[in-house]
A and B are shown apart, each in its own frame.
Chain A
Amino acid sequence: MGSGAVFSVVVTFLIIFSLIPTTIRFLQEVGTKVFGTSWGPLFEPATFGLLPLIIGTMWVVIIAVIVAVPLGLAAAIYMSEYAAPTTRRIVKPVVEVLAGIPTVVLGLFGLYFVNPELVQKYWPIGEPTAYTALGAGLVTGILILPIVATISDDAMRSVPGGLREAAFALGSTRSEVATKVVVGASLSGIMAAVILAVSRAFGETTVALMVAGSYAQLTLNPGDAMQTMASFIGFAGIGDQPVDSTGYRTIFFVGSMLFTITWILNIIALKVIKRFREVYE
């Protein structure tokens, strides 16, 4: 019986054992070159400066958060404070369906619509190309919106009704109750939702690869093509690197950074979620 549960721990160890030895060998080989400003581990001569990847990843994550947090919070407030139970039963599946759109389809949408019709036409800086970090950020924002919405909704609904009723009794309107009482009381849950969404955006591979392209240039303009940490893994993986090559080890090095960052974010978020569940139950 217990073996099934232990299986998940085994998977975690498999992840760690697949990452650590190759990462160490990579670092022995490459050393301080990771602090450079040019990323091209699969080119000749190979460069390993992480800065372009970090900036690319940051842009996609930041834009995604700017899109997803306001929209996701609004959806959560609507579901938890405004929707009647019957409306809720219709509205919630809409958010679930949005969460179920495959990333490759969202990538296609970014490539065929967001980049050519929105970014290329309206982004004022530079000359946007077929691939843009801005487009990838916008699409990733839609992708993480359901995470922000459902977990915030969960947190807001766990706020006791007494708090709302007290505020109503003092003459607050529904919007005042929602923004000043409920959002405040569920703030830790909302933070957890945002952290989980950020972690998801960090790890999103297909959208970044299809929409932001695979050119790791060092630029600050989100209208340019960029590479993220996750999309590098996908890009290099397609090339089927030979096992004992630097390219192969680079995949695992970037992967171990991605794994560490998302794992830390998840642990923080789960701690916070656990706490707000305990406070109100």
Chain B
Amino acid sequence: MSTISLKRNLSRSRLFKENFFRVLVSLSIFFALGFILFVVFILFLQSRGALNLDLFRNFPSARPANAGIQSAIFGSIWVVGIAALVAVPIGIVAAIFLEEFINPNNRIAKIIDLNVRNLAGVPAVVFGMVGLAFIARGSLGWGFTVGTAALVLAMMILPVVIIVSRESIRAVPSSLRDGSLALGATQWQTVWRTVMPSALPSIATGAILSVSRAMGESAPLLLLGALAFVTYNPESLDSDYTILPLIIFRYASDAKEEFHAIAAATSLVLMAILFLMNLTAILIRDRSQRKA
């Protein structure tokens, strides 16, 4: 931004307007930061001591004194972990293909590109309906299981993984590719030995951010039985499950006041997990930027 002094012969009213506008736009950022802190503060107030070890030790229960979130934590790890294992490799391979192996002016490439971007904007709850029609019921009939939930979340984050991976690959300078090709490397060798190592930290950052989106998502799994009080941890893809966002939903909508404290405490747990994931992603990005 150019640094031009604004204090030259400005009339009082213009100077006032200028300063007023500056304060106004800066306030929007303070609002955003203030809002985040305020939400955490309200959650702390609401949690009223429910944030303790018993919360992690106990399973969901209809009696507030015994109610915890253990199966939801394991459920979230299972469901989101498997969703990541499915969506991240497919997404990265798709991104490599679209960036390195296909002419961007190709009609099919254009259709796929538009499709991926549109898909990223489809409301999350719609993916739940696809899961209901084809995976839980219908021909597959997998029911309300860990596997169904993981596949649905994988479908939901796949376009996001593709988009962020493509951006990472595109950011690799073409001089690197040209250098590698000029030395006689094939296209495959160029992609695997030159482009990917250079794009990997940025892809990892994008992948972690996409997966953290799946971790916090609640809407699609409302339709897939995640609201049940599951009193055991998942053991396989066919297990019943519940997840953190929906155990929060469940406790929050219970009529008993005591459950609201547990819902607030669980929200803090979920936000802490997401914060750690985001922090990891940002650290990876920063470290690779410093090296470059």
Residues of A bordering B, CB below 8 Å: 1-2, 4-9, 11-12, 14-15, 17-19, 22, 71-72, 74-75, 77-79, 81-82, 84, 91, 93-98, 100-109, 111-113, 142, 145, 161, 164-165, 168, 173-176, 178-179, 196, 199-200, 202-206, 209-210, 230, 233-234, 237-238, 240, 243, 251-252, 255, 258-259, 262-263, 265-267, 269-270
Are B271 and A102 in contact, CB atoms less than 8 angstroms apart? yes
Residue from the list B18, B162, B248 in contact with A5, Cβ < 8 A: B162
Are B134 and A97 in contact, CB atoms less than 8 angstroms apart? no
- CB contacts (< 8 Å) of B245 on chain A: these are 102-104, 206
Q: How far is the CB of B167 from chain A (nearest CB, A)?
A: 12
Are B6 and A108 in contact, CB atoms less than 8 angstroms apart? no
Are B22 and A175 in contact, CB atoms less than 8 angstroms apart? yes
24 contacts between A and B (CB under 8 A): A1-B97, A8-B112, A8-B159, A11-B155, A11-B159, A18-B134, A71-B31, A94-B36, A100-B212, A101-B39, A103-B219, A104-B252, A109-B42, A112-B252, A173-B18, A174-B18, A175-B18, A200-B123, A233-B125, A237-B223, A251-B223, A252-B129, A265-B121, A266-B122
Given A1-B96, A18-B130, A75-B32, also A164-B2 (CB < 8 A):
yes
Are A71 and B28 in contact, CB atoms less than 8 angstroms apart? yes
- CB contacts (< 8 Å) of A72 on chain B: these are 28
Interface size on B, residues (CB 8 A): 90
Assembled-state Cα–Cα distance A4/B158 (Å): 10
Q: How far is the CB of B113 from chain A (nearest CB, A)?
A: 9
Q: How far is the CB of B260 from chain A (nearest CB, A)?
A: 7
Assembled-state Cα–Cα distance A78/B28 (Å): 8
Are B26 and A196 in contact, CB atoms less than 8 angstroms apart? no
Quick one: CB contact mask for B252-270 with A, threshold 8 Å, 1 for yes? 1100000010011001001
Q: How far is the CB of A243 from chain B (nearest CB, A)?
A: 5
Assembled-state Cα–Cα distance A252/B267 (Å): 30
- CB contacts (< 8 Å) of A79 on chain B: these are 29
B274 adjacent to chain A (CB < 8 Å): yes
Are B117 and A15 in contact, CB atoms less than 8 angstroms apart? no
- CB contacts (< 8 Å) of B218 on chain A: these are 102-104, 205-206
B85 adjacent to chain A (CB < 8 Å): no
Given contacts A100-B213, A251-B132, A266-B122, 16 further A-B contacts (CB under 8 A): A4-B162, A5-B162, A22-B133, A94-B36, A97-B36, A98-B35, A103-B218, A105-B248, A108-B263, A173-B10, A174-B6, A205-B222, A251-B129, A255-B126, A259-B122, A270-B118
- CB contacts (< 8 Å) of B46 on chain A: these are 108, 112
- CB contacts (< 8 Å) of A1 on chain B: these are 93, 96-97, 101
Residue from the list B4, B98, B225 in contact with A168, Cβ < 8 A: B4
Residues of B bordering A, CB below 8 Å: 1-2, 4, 6, 10, 14, 17-18, 21-22, 24-29, 31-33, 35-36, 39, 42-43, 46, 90-94, 96-98, 101-102, 111-112, 114-119, 121-130, 132-134, 137, 155, 158-159, 162, 209, 212-213, 215-219, 222-225, 227, 245-246, 248-249, 252-253, 260, 263-264, 267, 270-271, 274-275, 278, 282
Q: How far is the CB of B116 from chain A (nearest CB, A)?
A: 5
Are B1 and A101 in contact, CB atoms less than 8 angstroms apart? no
Q: How far is the CB of A5 from chain B (nearest CB, A)?
A: 4
Given A8-B159, A101-B39, also A75-B25 (CB < 8 A):
yes
Q: Which residue of B lies closest to A98 (CB)?
A: B32
- CB contacts (< 8 Å) of A252 on chain B: these are 129, 133
- CB contacts (< 8 Å) of A111 on chain B: these are 252
Q: How far is the CB of A149 from chain B (nearest CB, A)?
A: 8
